[in-house]
Chains A and B, each alone.
Chain A
Amino acid sequence: MPRLLPLFVVVTLAACQNEIPTALGEGFLPVEPVTLEVRLPWSQFVTSAQVVGGFGRADELGVGTIANAFGGTLNARTLLHLEPQHLVYDASDTLTTIVGGSFLLRFNPTGSSNQGPVTVAVGRTSTHWDARSASWRLAVDSLDGQEEWPEQGGGPVEPLGKAVWDPLEGDSLLISFGPAALANVLDTTPLEFGVRVDLDTPGELVQVISGEIQLFAMVEGVDTMITLPSVSVTDQTFIYDPAPGPPEGLRVGGIPAWRTVISMAIPAMVAGTPEACALVTCPLALTAERINLANLVLSTQANEPGFQPTDSLLVHARSLFAPGVLPKSPLGPPIFLDDLGLAVGAALASAAFAPGGERSVEVPITPLVWDLVRGTTVGGGSTSSTIALLSLSCNPVGKLCVESESIAFSSFAGAGQPGEPFLRLILTISDRVELP
């Protein structure tokens, strides 16, 4: 029996879980904290602000845009390059005959303005163009020189076909080639195979995700028509006209993208409420421990026609490490990450940028404000008091981001305008935790 003693001891204790007795809403809470909201006007926490443009390129976005007088003004066309050698077939192969082909386009219905059918046309470009630098006026804009389009807007093109896309029937469109278009496609004499995608239906904007050429062939002695391997896009971009005017307030996003750069100085003291001042000395000292939330509150403004978002937009806040060398100042890591490690920004409904749809949006910057009131980061490093509000399109898997999301941008009221931004702080004030 003595041999069972150690086992007895272990079993006695292991049988129990330690749980602390919990009183629910009963008894005397040793502290009675006060949580209050403090709104810091723009002039009390911003030392300077500017809107800087020119970030990102349309070809980096991975999504094209086609528009025809969208918002009454905006025209946009998507340009695609395909590998021409993939269209070359062995001439000695007399057993295979190309009998037809089509251009397959895939769209983003949620990022497109149309609710009903629209007509989309594709044509082969006849001019060399550079996806990195092409614009409405220029086919190439590089250090080696500029080359204008013979016709502004990516023209001229040799038509390959057109068809009607109805978003209710799916997100893809097959534009079949006629005999002349098929011959054009199979003409591999030009070293470059470019395609321009146009929207014929006025007043709409459509986002193009991808395009590819499909060719159909008959093999001698076989009754079935076969589909040859598709020819995919190697690069793509989009060009648009007119360019948006200069920002009247704050602006974020667009292609090329704008950033709003704000330098801040958080005051050491803020006014308290009577309840808070009954607990501690007023004015209230701003400390990291007291700050539960710090959101930059912006008021949206209607965009100029043609640049109304067709889908929700995201605004992120990032630290700027060297604001003195703008616009090339490097960006810091995301200020606010969620539990999954993804950057937390403000999601903005597209209606917020339509006339009459103005509303307040909040960009969370709590960790940055903690660092600013502490004077250092948690790790003791220096912190930047300048942030950039920007629009990023991030791949949640690889976490690679491009700037920005779309041709549309976000407009916000600036200093001195109705809806001037402010800093919203949620503070909790408490007397000290003491022994009874």
Chain B
Amino acid sequence: MIPLRWARLTGALLLALALGAAPAAAQSVLATWGLGVTLDPLDGRGRGLGSVGPGLFGTGVIPGDPGASLDLIVPTVAVSMQSSWLQVDQDAGSATLSGSRFPAMGIAYPVRDWGVLTVTYGGVLDQRWTLVRQSLLDLGAGGAGTSVTDQFVSDGGVAAARVGFARRVTPSLGVALAVGSFTGNVIRTFMRSFNSLDAGVAVAPFQSGGRWGYSGVTATAGLVFDVSDIVRAGGTITWSGSLNAKLTDGSDGSARKYDMPLEFRGGISGALGAGLSAVLSASYADWSGAWSSLGGEATAGTVLSLGAGLEWTSLSFLGRPLPLRFGWRRAELPFRPDTEDPVESTLAGGFGLRLAGTDNIPLAQIDLGVEHGTRSAGSVSEDFWRSTVSLRLAGF
């Protein structure tokens, strides 16, 4: 069994890093449109399997999927860390970016034999992006003009904090419910700076912006259906009230309200043979309601995501189980600049390493999922690598 002091030290470290870490970075340039890029509530295992929803064998503590913790019998804390490496190609040039973020964290606590209580925090929309535009302005002093750089920075995003409860109502059927609140904030800043060499004197930049805090209610209901240990099917439906954005810095911008979509997620896992299982999953959401709340040129519509993967659990490493995973995933992004749908396609792989515990009671486990994919929309294309590491500790 994992020593208690190491569990505490690791837990404290995770908490400190979670509080100090940036919420998200290096996700996608496509976040410039609409409300940003959606963030799927997945851990390292789900990423490695190409999953987009519930229905995986085993247990987990996953935001937006309260049913994942259905069979946990010991208190468990789980944190996912994600690193991205992004190559962006645009008309104006290309750039390479990298960043790390915490897409999800949660705690699950079995309450007697009633069920499992979960508290989770996870990202919903990533709104970190920068738009840079250069131009030449005639400032009236003659000459060839003054070089001007416009920079718009959006820094922040929407997350959700949820409290959930999962309970088996029959040996083969479990139900789950989570309610929570949208949280997070975004700082949007525009700055126009002038080339002092062109102007002949230092010209002060123009700056304007505001900070908005997010709020709103969200609730997820989940269902898990098991057929022996051969098949597991799961589904969630997420309803959200309006996403409210309110100015929090006293500036003179206005508050906004966005209709959030009803979101369906479903998945099915099946045992194919000894140690081999397959998973299929899909999700659907209609963001056109949010589009009606949006101004500007972005549009939004229905989003369908599909995923498929294989898991092989027969391998071991130093006497510890070492499941291998492979997957494929195709996800549409809800916000687009024109009629062309932005699409993210990934191939994934990964493994898990149980450090302590048993199949039914994992006390310390690491799951790694690595994805390589592309996104494209209009004149923008992105090639990315994304690794998701989930750390799960139980029994403390």
Contacts and interface: CB of A to CB of B under 8 A. Distances in A.
Interface string A160-182: 00000000000000000000000
A399 interface: no
Interface string B111-150: 0000000000000000011111110010111000000101
7 contacts: A2-B3, A17-B99, A26-B379, A27-B29, A295-B201, A426-B140, A435-B186
Contact of A12 (B2, B141, B389): B389
A433 B10 contact: no
Contacts of B86: 21
A20 B295 CA distance: 23
A292 interface: yes
Given A292-B203, A292-B205, A28 B33 contact: yes
A10 B81 CA distance: 11
Interface string B349-387: 000000110000000101000000000001110000000
Q: Which residue, B33, B202, B295, B379, has most C-beta atoms of chain A within 10 A?
A: B202
Contacts of A35: 137, 139, 148, 192, 206
Contacts of B389: 12
A417 B157 CA distance: 59
B19 interface: no
B174 to A, nearest CB: 30
Interface stretch (B176-184, B229-237, B251-259): B251-259
Could you say which interface size class chain B belongs to? 35 or more
Interface stretch (B20-28, B260-268, B279-287): B20-28
A101 to B, nearest CB: 51
A295 B200 CA distance: 11
Given A8-B391, A22-B97, A293-B139, 8 more contacts: A1-B318, A12-B389, A18-B25, A21-B27, A35-B206, A289-B208, A292-B203, A434-B210
Interface stretch (B45-53, B64-72, B88-96): B88-96
A426 B205 CA distance: 11
B206 A290 contact: yes
Contact of A33 (B83, B155, B206): B206
Interface in A263-294: 289-293
B395 interface: no
B39 interface: no
A266 to B, nearest CB: 16
Nearest to A427: B206
Interface in B51-75: none
B95 A22 contact: yes
Given A16-B99, A21-B26, A434-B256, A10 B129 contact: no
Contact of B245 (A22, A25, A435): A435
Interface string B1-28: 0110011011001100100011001111
B83 A16 contact: yes
B212 interface: yes
Contacts of A290: 206
B140 A37 contact: yes
A209 interface: no
Nearest to B6: A2
A23 interface: yes
Contact of A30 (B29, B88, B188, B256): B188
Contacts of A2: 2-3, 6-7, 355-356, 364
Contacts of A26: 29, 32, 90-92, 131, 378-380
A16 B190 contact: no
A6 B199 contact: no
Contacts of B207: 289
A424 B140 contact: yes
Interface string B326-345: 00000000000100000000
A186 B373 CA distance: 94
B34 A436 contact: yes
B194 interface: yes
B388 to A, nearest CB: 10
A22 B99 contact: no
A45 B21 CA distance: 51
Interface residues of A, number: 52
B310 interface: no
Contacts of A13: 17, 21, 81, 83, 100
A28 B199 contact: no
B133 A433 contact: no
Interface string A315-353: 000000000000000000000101000001000000000
B273 interface: no
B202 A27 contact: no
A208 B297 CA distance: 70
Contacts of A295: 201
A132 to B, nearest CB: 38
A8 B389 CA distance: 10
Interface string B287-307: 000000011111000000000
Contacts of B22: 18
Nearest to B194: A292
Contacts of B13: 6, 9-10
A98 B251 CA distance: 82
B212 to A, nearest CB: 6
A65 to B, nearest CB: 31
A410 to B, nearest CB: 18
A295 B140 CA distance: 12
A15 interface: yes
A432 interface: yes
B395 to A, nearest CB: 12
A28 B297 contact: yes
A235 to B, nearest CB: 38
A96 to B, nearest CB: 61
Contacts of A432: 208, 210, 252-254
A426 B140 CA distance: 9
A5 B355 CA distance: 10
A28 B337 contact: yes
Contacts of B10: 5-6, 9
B165 interface: no
A31 interface: yes
B202 A8 contact: no
B221 interface: no
Contacts of B253: 432-435
